[in-house]
């Protein structure tokens, strides 16, 4: 390809602004993994069916294998690498570890991002809501029960953190 065949893309990934030049046909997944070296997002089926490549685009889950990098121009992308803050695992990551919500780990980044989106929308989901949210993410190892338990534990801990951060006598 000629230099003129590349398109400029300005995107914020995990809060860090980036300016890249990409081929029009390059997927967001390839841009994240190859250009930005953020390899936490996995390439699974590359058809959007498995959920391994789930990231958040402006807070909404998308399949990075189905989205072109140019479509992310001007937007905020959050990958699994963006969950940890200041070297500390996010409560979801800790809960997945504690509840053994991962085995081979291949689906875990997509599961974590889907669960993160769910907990942003509903801080106290029931088991059926969790299972419904995860229905687009495939796991061949765990049978999902440990994943559901991990998300419930993380939700509980996040609620407790929020309550502890709210001064007594005030309403959030």
Q: What is the pLDDT of residues 37-66, one digit of tens each?
A: 999 999 998 999 999 999 999 999 999 999
User: Is residue 75's pLDDT more than 70?
Assistant: yes
| DSSP label at residue 126 | -
Q: Are 73 and 51 in contact (CB under 8 A)?
A: no
> What is the predicted pLDDT for the residue at 141?
87
Ordered structural domains, the chain, with CATH: 7-82 (3.10.20.30), 91-164 (1.10.150.120)
| DSSP label at residue 27 | B
Model pTM score? 0.92
Average pLDDT taken over every residue of the chain: 94
* pLDDT tens readout for residues 10-32: 999 999 999 999 999 999 999 99
């Amino acid at each position: 390809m000629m230099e003129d065949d590349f398109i400029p893309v300005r995107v914020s990934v995990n809060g860090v602004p980036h300016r890249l030049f990409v081929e029009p046909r390059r997927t967001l997944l390839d841009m994240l993994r190859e250009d930005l070296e953020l390899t936490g997002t996995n390439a699974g089926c590359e058809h959007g069916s498995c959920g391994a490549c789930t990231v958040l685009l402006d807070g909404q889950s998308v399949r990075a294998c189905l989205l072109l990098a140019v479509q992310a121009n001007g937007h905020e992308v959050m990958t699994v690498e963006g969950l940890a803050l200041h070297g500390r695992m996010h409560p979801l990551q800790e809960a997945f570890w504690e509840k053994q919500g991962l085995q081979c780990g291949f689906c875990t980044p997509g599961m974590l991002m889907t669960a993160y989106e769910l907990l942003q929308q509903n801080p106290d989901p029931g088991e059926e809501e969790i299972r419904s949210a995860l229905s687009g993410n495939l796991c061949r190892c765990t049978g999902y029960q440990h994943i559901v338990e991990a998300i419930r534990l993380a939700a509980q801990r996040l609620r407790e953190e929020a309550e502890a951060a709210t001064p007594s006598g005030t309403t959030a």
